[in-house]
Amino acid sequence: MNVFWFKRDLRVEDNEALHFACNSDEPVLLIYILEPSLIDEPHTSNRHISFIKESLSDLNEQLKIFNTKVLLVQAEVKATFIKLLSHFPISTIYSTQEIGIDLTFQRDIKMSLWFEENKIQWVETQYNGVIRGLKSRKGWSYAWKKYMTAPQVFPNFDEASLWAIDEVKGLEENFNSINLNVPKHNFQIGGRTEAVRWADSFFQKRIFHYSEGISKPQLSRKTCSRLSPYFAWGNMSIREIYQRAISLKPDVEDKRPINAFLARLRWQSHFIQKFEMEPRMEFEAINKAYLDLEQPINEAHIVAWKSGQTGYPLVDASIRALIETGYINFRMRSMCVSFFTHHLFQHFSLMGEWLAQQFLDFEPGIHYGQLQMQSGFTGTNTVRIYNPTKNAHDHDSDAIFIKNWVKELENLPPNLAIEPWLMTAMEEKLYKFKLGNDYPERIVDISETRKPALDKLYGMRKSDLFKKEKQRILDKHTIKRNYN
Tens digits of residue pLDDT in 89-109: 999 999 999 999 999 999 999
DSSP character string of 56-74 = HHHHHHHHGGGT--PEEEE
Output the pLDDT for position 478: 87
Q: What is the DSSP string of 287-329?
A: SGGGGG------HHHHHHHHTT-SS-HHHHHHHHHHHHHS---
For CA atoms 59, 241, 363, 8, the dihedral sign is positive
β-bridge mates for residue 93, sequence order: 3, 122
**d(C-alpha 293, C-alpha 314), whole Å:** 28
How does DSSP classify residue 2? E
Q: How many CB atoms lie within 10 A of CB 98?
A: 18
| pLDDT, tens digit, 9 for 90 and up, residues 361-402 | 999 999 999 999 999 999 888 899 999 999 999 999 999 999
Does residue 203 contact residue 248 with C-beta atoms inside 8 Å?
Answer: yes
On the question of pLDDT at 480 being above 80, the answer is no
Tell me: pLDDT of 354 over 70.
Answer: yes
Residue 470 CB neighbour total at 10 angstroms: 16
pTM here?
A: 0.96
- pLDDT, tens digit, for every residue of 64-91? 999 999 999 999 999 999 999 999 999 9
Domains and their CATH numbers in the chain: 2-125 (3.40.50.620), 192-277 (1.25.40.80), 281-481 (1.10.579.10)
Is the CB of residue 85 less than 8 Å from the CB of residue 118?
yes
Residues 6+ apart with CB under 8 A from 417: 313, 399, 402, 403, 406, 409, 410
Q: Give me the DSSP letters along 444-484.
A: S-HHHHHHHHHHHHHHGGGSHHHHHHHHHHHHHH---GGG-
Q: Which residues of 215-247 are buried (b: 16+ CB within 10 A; e: fewer)?
A: bbbbbbbebbbbbbbbbbbbbbbbbbbbbebee
Average pLDDT, the chain: 96
- Is the pLDDT at 31 greater than 80? The verdict is yes
Determine the pLDDT at residue 481. Answer: 52
Q: Which amino acid is at 254?
A: D
Strand order across the beta sheet in which 28-34 lies: 71-74, 28-34, 2-6, 92-96, 121-125
Strands (E), 39-167: 71-74, 92-96, 121-125
C-alpha closest to that of 370 among 458, 446, 266, 268: 268
Residue 433: predicted pLDDT: 97
Q: Please report, rounded to a whole number, the percentage of residues in the chain having pLDDT higher than 90.
A: 97
* H or E, element range at 167: helix 165-172
Note the pLDDT of residue 479.
Answer: 79
